[in-house]
Amino acid sequence: MITPTTFLRARVPQLSRRSALTSALVSLAAAGVAVARTSDAAAPAAPTYRPLPVTDDPVLHAVRRLSFGATPQLVDHVRAIGVSAWLDEQLGSMPDLHGTVVGAGPALPLPEVVAAAVASVAHRDAVQDLQVATFARAAWGDHQVYELVVEFWSNHLSIAAQLPYVRDHKAVDDRDVVRAHALGTFADLLTASVQSPAMLRYLSNAESRGSHPNENYARELLELHTVGVHAGYTQRDVRDAARVLTGLTVDARTGLFSYRPEWHATGAVRVLDWTSPNADPDKGLDVALSLVRYLAFHPATAHHLATKLVRRLVSDTPSVALVASAARVYLEGGTAIVPVLRHIVGSAEFAGSAGQKTQRPFEWFTAAVRALGLQPAPTLPVAGGGIASSLQQLGQAPFGWPAPDGYPDTAAAWASTASTLSRWNAAQALVQGAVRGIGPLDGDTLVGTPLPATAGALVDRLAGKLIGPVPRRALRAAVLQGVSMPAGQAVDQATIGALTPQIAALLLSSPEAQVR
Amino acid sequence: MSPFEAQECADLACTRRRLLAGAATLAGLGALELASPRLAFASGEQRSDLLVVVSLRGGADGLSLVPPLSDPGYLTARPDIGVRPGQALQLDGVFGLHPGLRPLLPFWTDRRLAIVHAVGDSDGTRSHFEAMDAMERGVNAATAVSSGWVDRHLTARGLRVGDFPALAIGNRPPGSLQGPAPDLSVNSVRDVRVRVADKRRVPTEKALAEMYAGVAGPHADAARSTLDALRRFAPLRDHPYLPRVGVNYPTDSFGVGLRQIAQVARAGVGLQVATLDLGGWDTHEGMGDAAGGAMTQLVSRLGAGLAAFARDLGPLLATTTIVTMSEFGRRVWQNGSGGVDHGHGSAMLVLGGGIRGGKVYGRWSGLDASHLENGDLRVTTDYRDVLGELVQRRLGGGSLTTVFPDHRPRLLDLATQR
């Protein structure tokens, strides 16, 4: 029974914002401010809360953290060859980007059945198509770590794809910028990004010219893409960076990148410690690319990217030491991305971080689909309902974040009633086969043989498949209550068939099923 | 009487009775047990307005919303995108209202709509994310306080039995609600339900409650709030909401969101605070002019939505304060792409029964180059001056030093003491 004390109880404030809670309290106390109650100690009947037990299985931890959802097959595979060899396998070869191209749409390095499903779509919408393809690669593709890194860079160089002046360009950005360089160097990735029509349109640079340059892209290039907001640059630096970027635009006829010297603002420029005489309009693109390289190699960029990668892979509160060492690896490797990933994943902090990350909605959805063993429906829908709108309702459709800072990656940022309810309902929809584009649940296969003899055994079996080895006692009891069955109740095949979807939806709604 | 009747009840004692009646009804549904006595009535019998915070995300251009028509610098700086005197609705000798805000004009005329100009964060930055974050928290960017200003206000004022949690329309509550005070985020009142067969609903919700019992973490806290929301919204979601006769909400997300807020407000369940976003204000290019174009469309959405909401509240508007805010304003001079880049001073709209409206507040130093700050409209009124006065006079607010620890609000006298 939830009581109103739940509401009156203090919630832990969002720690990720900029500093530890303690410093917030210290600062408030120093200012003579009455500090809001932040513990339950004073409330007589307030319940105590404990963290979930975490797995001590390093393989399960690594697979959960580095994929879009653990499946029994993937866990078995990684257990057989070891985490390190799996990582080599995943990072060693890039998928063939152009292996399966469907019409004018994005490349789809996918199992054949999925590509066929995408190809069968009659009415194509460039953005929803790309969203569905992105989901399909994450849920059903074999290149799990690659997809994870692609997602990271898509979000770092976030582009709100549904904007009318961007929507036709994002698929090309996805293929030629993010996917092409996800495992390469950041310098190359950024160099491609500043010449990406989608980015130039999104951040208004395509229209920026001459005497009144548009500062939008310049500011986000510094603040979000490279050195970060506290790197010490000023409005002058932003203005000069905007001048440097003038002329980088999109050819209105072809939709391709073009550089227009007549739009380029010439004259000496300085951004942080980088300078250029910038005298020749014909050399403006070279000047811009020189600034981009300078920024990619800047120590503040190294620190910024390392912080975000550690937050993605290890913890909502990245440790100073791991960020510093990852930043060093980044600079020593000439901005190469794979060594940084290996460094972070190989760290003791990564190994000790089980339970420290919560899935965001996209990862939760793919993980649920993978754990349930759901297959793509023969036809992947594009418009109206289906996968894209489910992701939209969950709050994390790919390329759907409206601002250029990308989706947040901390548990606190996603903890809301709307977000929770949408997960619970998406779990129900998945087991009921109600998401168009995703096939129905094959309960018999999920349960497997021999058939469990009791309701309790059925819950244990499904928990093992969906959330990990042994369910918490309270979870087991809750699920049994949810299906109105005592643990020892004998179950036959028909009852198992009826109960399986209900039990699966409850397990996927559990706190255990949110762990990344 | 049913607490969910859509019957207005402007009288305060009545509101209070209905609030308690609402609590009792919920308790009757098995939803509410008595809160810890120490917290109940912690603040005595203070009364407050319903506060509705509308965040114009992206940096709203105050010089378009409320153009300084008589300032000779205005159209010089904005030959293509400025609002011309013939297009604007004249407010006083200096300012006009963007034609897209025409639906709000009656509220200006009867003095319930006030405007504060050249307002913003006096500690401001041009970064969207830093500026928004600081403003949500109500502190200077470098101040290490993680809670939001609305949350600190609610926490300081104390929570009472029957108080409805702060309501955020959207997927996630804004930063202003971060902290210990309870909040709910919903996209649609009607959809606050677990989609299972009716006969499975009770056991399913019970199972969810039990599996999260005792579990720590933000996600588990949100799950507990969700279960509470399911109960609180159960009586509302099954009744179709009928706005007041003659009120037509726009069908965009902003209009629909305001309609949800009105539904909860008019149900008399004790709603204290609601928040809502209207995005799209990062107008770096292609704004068009007041005769049409992107900016005019956006401003029209704001005007039509707010006017419908205020009219739908009816007599409840007497005890409601609606405030719009944005992380910063825009540059005075238009850029080469028919837009304006990030600047500083913007304008706030404050609407409600307790507002001394029909007046533009703030200090106007003009658009002459010598008065600009780096090409920006200088912030002459801190946004916390406005919010601080609302907290103090309309929201039963206690300590302003708690709500705004590093700014001492200088009151503009734009609100009456409640």
CB atoms within 10 A of CB B52: 26
Domain-embedded: residue B355: yes
- SS3 readout for B274-312: EEEEECCCCCCCCCCECCECHHHHHHHHHHHHHHHHHHH
Amino acid letter at A212?
Answer: H
Domain-embedded: residue B97: yes
- For tokens 């933000």, the residue is B218
Measure CA B394 to chain center. Answer: 14
Residues of B in contact with A44 (CB under 8 A): 36, 38
Please give the tally of structural domains in chain B: 1
Measured CA to CA, the distance from residue B346 to residue B87 in angstroms comes to 20
The CATH code of the domain that includes B323 is 3.40.720
Domain-embedded: residue B374: yes
Measured CA to CA, the distance from residue B61 to residue B287 in angstroms comes to 11
Residues of A in contact with B217 (CB under 8 A): 49, 51-52, 358, 411, 415, 511
In chain A, where are the structural domains located? 1-49, 443-514
Residues B277, B170 contacting (CB under 8 angstroms): yes
Residues A136, A380 contacting (CB under 8 angstroms): yes
DSSP B187: S
Residues B319, B10 contacting (CB under 8 angstroms): yes
**Better-predicted residue by pLDDT, A470 or B364:** B364
Domain-embedded: residue B169: yes
A·B CB contacts under 8 A: 280
CB atoms within 10 A of CB A457: 17
Q: What are phi and psi of B347, to 5 degrees?
A: -130, 145
Residues of B in contact with A218 (CB under 8 A): none
* Tokens found for residue A423: 């997960």
Specify the DSSP element, H or E, that contains B360: strand B360-361
DSSP A298: -
Residue A252 pLDDT: 84
Strands B320-325, B50-56: parallel, antiparallel or unpaired by DSSP? parallel
Domain-embedded: residue B207: no
Subunit contact B207:A506, Cβ cutoff 8 A? yes
**Better-predicted residue by pLDDT, A486 or B124:** A486
Measured CA to CA, the distance from residue A315 to residue A411 in angstroms comes to 10
* Tokens found for residue B258: 């305001």
Per-residue pLDDT tens digits for A166-207? 888 888 899 889 998 999 999 999 999 999 999 999 999 998
Residue closest to B315 by CA, chosen among B265, B386, B387: B265
Measured CA to CA, the distance from residue A213 to residue B339 in angstroms comes to 11
Residues of B in contact with A413 (CB under 8 A): 172
Measure CA A206 to chain center. Answer: 28
Measured CA to CA, the distance from residue B313 to residue B50 in angstroms comes to 11
Domain-embedded: residue B387: yes
Strands B183-186, B381-382: parallel, antiparallel or unpaired by DSSP? unpaired
Measured CA to CA, the distance from residue A263 to residue A241 in angstroms comes to 15
Measured CA to CA, the distance from residue B307 to residue B301 in angstroms comes to 10
Residues A281, A262 contacting (CB under 8 angstroms): yes
Task: Determine if the pTM surpasses 0.90.
Answer: no
Measured CA to CA, the distance from residue B302 to residue B306 in angstroms comes to 6
Residue closest to B48 by CA, chosen among B259, B354, B262, B258: B354
Measured CA to CA, the distance from residue A58 to residue A250 in angstroms comes to 48
Residue A133 pLDDT: 83
Subunit contact A51:B405, Cβ cutoff 8 A? no
Residues of A in contact with B174 (CB under 8 A): none
Residue A457 pLDDT: 98
| ipTM value | 0.86
Tell which of A23, A263, A421 to mutate to test the B interface (max B CBs under 10 Å): A421
Measured CA to CA, the distance from residue A212 to residue B79 in angstroms comes to 14
Looking at the complex, report in whole angstroms how far the Cα of residue B159 sits from the nearest Cα belonging to chain A.
7
Closest partner residue to B402 (CB to CB) among A34, A211, A213 is A34
Residues 6 or more apart whose CB falls under 8 angstroms from that of A350 comprise A65, A313, A314, A344
Per-residue pLDDT tens digits for B168-226? 999 889 999 998 888 899 988 988 999 999 999 999 999 999 999 999 999 999 999 99
**∠A276-A278-A284 over CA atoms, to 5°?**
115
* Tokens found for residue B256: 């629909």
Closest partner residue to B284 (CB to CB) among A50, A216, A484 is A216
Looking at the complex, report in whole angstroms how far the Cα of residue A6 sits from the nearest Cα belonging to chain B.
7
Domain-embedded: residue B258: yes
Residues of A in contact with B169 (CB under 8 A): none
- For tokens 């805010």, the residue is B325
Instruction: Give pLDDT tens digits along chain A (516 positions).
Output: 233 222 222 233 333 333 333 333 333 333 333 333 333 334 445 678 888 888 889 999 999 999 999 998 999 999 999 999 999 888 876 555 433 433 344 444 455 555 555 555 544 577 887 888 889 889 988 889 999 999 999 999 999 998 888 888 888 899 889 998 999 999 999 999 999 999 999 999 998 988 789 999 999 999 999 999 999 999 999 999 999 999 999 998 888 899 999 999 999 999 999 999 999 999 999 999 999 999 999 999 999 999 999 999 999 999 999 999 999 999 999 999 999 999 999 999 999 999 999 999 999 999 999 999 998 887 665 544 589 889 999 999 999 998 899 999 999 899 999 999 999 999 999 999 999 889 999 999 999 999 999 999 999 999 999 998 889 999 999 999 999 999 999 999 999 999 999 999 999 999 999 999
Looking at the complex, report in whole angstroms how far the Cα of residue A102 sits from the nearest Cα belonging to chain B.
33
Amino acid letter at B241?
Answer: Y
DSSP B349: E
Residue A1 pLDDT: 28
Strands B381-382, B113-120: parallel, antiparallel or unpaired by DSSP? parallel
- Expressed in angstroms, the distance from the first to the final Cα of chain B is 26
Residues A376, A125 contacting (CB under 8 angstroms): no
| Residue in B with minimal Cα distance to A219 | B127
Domain that holds residue B107: 50-191+243-403
Q: CB-hemisphere CA count at 13 Å for B96?
A: 21
- H helices then E strands: how many in chain A? 27, 4
